[in-house]
Structure 1
Amino acid sequence: MARRCELSGKAVLTGNNVSHAKRRTRRRFLPNLCNVTLQSDALKKHVRLTISANALRSVEHRGGLDAYLLKAGDDELSLKARRLKRQVAKAHEAQAAAS
């Protein structure tokens, strides 16, 4: 499993540990990933995703998973999230046509 957020695309970064004597050794900066289950209102089902804590706050700020996906760009989303975005968009179109 890749250490990458499925919504924001946040991934592992690399850098240096620097000692007091300025000796540098390589290290990894890992994202704060959480396994969460989010509710999709348009699809009326639960979706399990691995996302960063920052992306979880963004989802809540934008008003839910559907709103986040519709506003997000395809380049930062994972394959699973892009498929979910297409399903949500199709469900919104069907709901608008029915109204």
Structure 2
Amino acid sequence: MVPIILATLILLWQAALVGYAFSLAGNSADEGARAGAAAGQGGGAQACEAAARKNLPDSWEADVACFVAGDLYDAEVDVVVPVLYPGFIDFSFTAPGRASAVWEG
């Protein structure tokens, strides 16, 4: 019975990590888009990436892309989903987060 309980706990923990990765990706993209839109034309990309990475814990890996799309400033954050512990082993898929903010300038 112990192996079944341990396997269930591991699966539940992994499901929580996947959900947390999606939450981190969405929040980081939102913060990045907001910072990029507030920074204006000159420093939007640097402000966007800095704000997006600021909200990610150090052991979590992510790809951040910031760009302008018409009147919107878009941020895309793809957080790598870890296996059991961040920084240990990573799955081959990422949790995507996308956000847009209207230019404030």
Normalised by the length of structure 2, the TM-score is: 0.28
More helix by share: 2
Larger radius of gyration: 1
Q: Which structure is higher in strand share?
A: 2
TM score, norm. by length of structure 1? 0.29
